[in-house]
Amino acid sequence: MPRTNTPPHIKWLLNERAALVGKALQLERQFAELATKRDKTSARISALDRAIALFDSSVSPTAVKPVNAWKGRYGARGELMAALRECLMAAAPSAVTTLELAVMLQTRFGLEFSHPAEQQRWRKNSLLRALKRLVALGEVQRLHEGERLGAHTSGRWRYREERPTLEALAAAAGVKREAS
């Protein structure tokens, strides 16, 4: 059987077509998933309508206009804090710099910034605020406490591990300690 060469312009057209067919198949799968989600959501709405009618039939379920439920930049509420905990726990007992955390979280959440100033604002307003909340909750240690960080210096953070006291260890071992 003689071998034939496909002209480059035909190869390009075939490749473009194959890519679009792949995209169309991907969209069909997404449509099916969305249809399932829509049906489940409609069923939950109907159940809530019935519950409202049971409590007070004079209340119209459509009296309140639809609202956009919370879906932040990081997914569900609390996802940024959970991701921070996860990153710091994975590194424990070592410390992680703010810059390293920023890179990990940008990758995890697919964040892209059009300008370095935008990235800096995100670090200051979202990342550092979440880290400070974790410090306030007692879950994270700020290892650069009291240090003045320069413009190109990154703070260090570590997950706070609960370490048992000598009394707790002695009690667990069944040893009675004498007061000193």
CA torsion through residues 43, 45, 49, 55, sign: positive
Q: With 90 as the cut, is the pLDDT of residue 109 above it?
A: no
Kindly tell me if the per-residue pLDDT of 180 is higher than 60: no
| 3-class state of residue 141 by DSSP | strand
pLDDT band at 4 (very low <50, low <70, confident <90, very high): confident
Share of the chain above pLDDT 90, in %: 41
Query: Model pTM?
Result: 0.50
- Give residue 72's pLDDT band: very low, low, confident or very high (50, 70, 90): low
Edge to edge, the sheet with strand 96-97 lists 96-97, 156-159, 140-142
Determine the Cα angle at 54 with ends 52 and 57, to 5°: 70
pLDDT score for 71: 60
Structure confidence at residue 149 (pLDDT): 55
Residue 142 β-bridge partners: 157
Residue 140, strand partner residues: 159
**Whole-number pLDDT of residue 29:** 93
Alpha-carbon span 58 to 127, nearest angstrom: 47
Cα–Cα dist 154/144, whole Å: 9
Residues 6+ apart with CB under 8 A from 49: 61
